[in-house]
């Protein structure tokens, strides 16, 4: 059974930083592109970032480019999202997903990030 | 990175069919056969229902079907059931510099 378990969310002040983690199991993590998708309270889904299976290629939405960094450790089956210079509009549930390019077959349960003073 | 356009709401009675549209551009929906649909119940993570326009993952009922014409993709739910009451989102590949774009979501109500 595929499992994606996010952690690291919480309350952070504007301008602060946070690192999200996603522990994967039940599939060949090192063979799969991985992504982060977020959902602001009461809003729709927004693609945030994707990383290739080996980690060599990374892609970002314009809204987070230059502030967020996606990375992975295939030896630990773990995906990361380093979020810097956080803004109120980054407040959302962040989902870890397998896949990319509009195709996200598996989703974690999400972790809530709240940016507020 | 503009979002795909979906109607905010749709509805139907049990047993009926309903179709939800997803309109993009010639740079995303119209350019690639990589349109997916996701179902989301309140407080839950989204679930993949359709991928590559028409394909259903294992375990998804065949009441759910997808299609595409030009820049518009569609999700049809036939034989509506109470558990189909949920939000539905479309997504499309949009080229190598914008790997994913979502629609704004459609709230499907089973009357």
- Tens of pLDDT, residue by residue over B92-110, are 998 877 678 899 999 999 9
Interface probe with B: pick from A6, A32, A45, most Cβ of B within 10 Å: A45
DSSP state of B51: B
Q: What percent of chain B has pLDDT over 90?
A: 89
pLDDT, one tens digit per residue, over B45-58 is 999 999 999 999 99
Q: Chain B residues within 8 A (CB-CB) of chain A?
A: 1, 3, 34-36, 38, 40, 45-48, 51-52, 57, 89, 91-94, 97-105
How many residues are there in chain B?
111
pLDDT at B98: 65
CA distances from A78 to A58, B47, B60, B71 (A): 15, 21, 28, 36
Going by C-alpha positions, the residue among B89, B100, B5 that lies closest to residue A48 is B100
| Closest CA of chain A from B95, distance in Å | 8
> Using an 8 Å Cβ cutoff, are A86 and A12 in contact?
yes
Interface probe with B: pick from A33, A101, A106, most Cβ of B within 10 Å: A101
Beta bridge partners of B55: B51
Phi-psi region of B90 (alpha: psi -120 to 50; beta: other; left: phi over 0): beta
| pLDDT digits (tens), chain A, 117 positions | 999 999 999 999 999 999 999 999 999 999 999 999 999 999 999 999 999 999 999 999 999 999 999 999 999 999 999 999 999 999 999 999 999 888 999 999 999 999 999
Mean pLDDT on B22-36: 94
Residue A47 forms contact with B (CB below 8 Å): yes
Mean pLDDT on B6-11: 96
């Amino acid at each position: 059974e595929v499992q994606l378990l996010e952690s690291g969310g919480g309350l952070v002040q504007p301008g602060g930083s946070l690192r999200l983690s996603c522990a994967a199991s039940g599939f060949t993590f090192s063979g799969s592109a991985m992504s982060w998708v977020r959902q602001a309270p009461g809003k729709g889904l927004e693609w945030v970032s994707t990383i290739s299976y080996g980690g060599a290629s990374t892609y970002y939405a314009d809204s987070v480019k230059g502030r967020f960094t996606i990375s992975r450790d295939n030896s630990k089956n773990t995906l990361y999202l380093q979020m810097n210079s956080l803004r109120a509009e980054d407040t959302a549930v962040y989902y870890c997903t397998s896949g990319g390019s509009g195709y996200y077959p598996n989703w974690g349960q999400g972790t809530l990030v709240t940016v507020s003073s | 990175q503009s979002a795909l356009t979906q109607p905010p709401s749709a509805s139907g009675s049990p047993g009926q069919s309903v179709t939800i549209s997803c309109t993009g551009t010639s740079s995303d929906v119209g350019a690639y056969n990589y349109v997916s649909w996701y179902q989301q119940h309140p407080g839950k993570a989204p679930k993949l229902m359709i991928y590559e326009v028409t394909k259903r993952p294992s375990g998804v009922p065949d009441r759910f079907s997808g299609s595409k014409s030009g820049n518009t993709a569609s999700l049809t739910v036939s034989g509506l059931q109470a558990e189909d009451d949920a939000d539905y989102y479309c997504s499309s590949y949009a080229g190598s510099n914008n790997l994913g774009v979502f629609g704004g979501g459609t709230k499907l109500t089973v009357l």
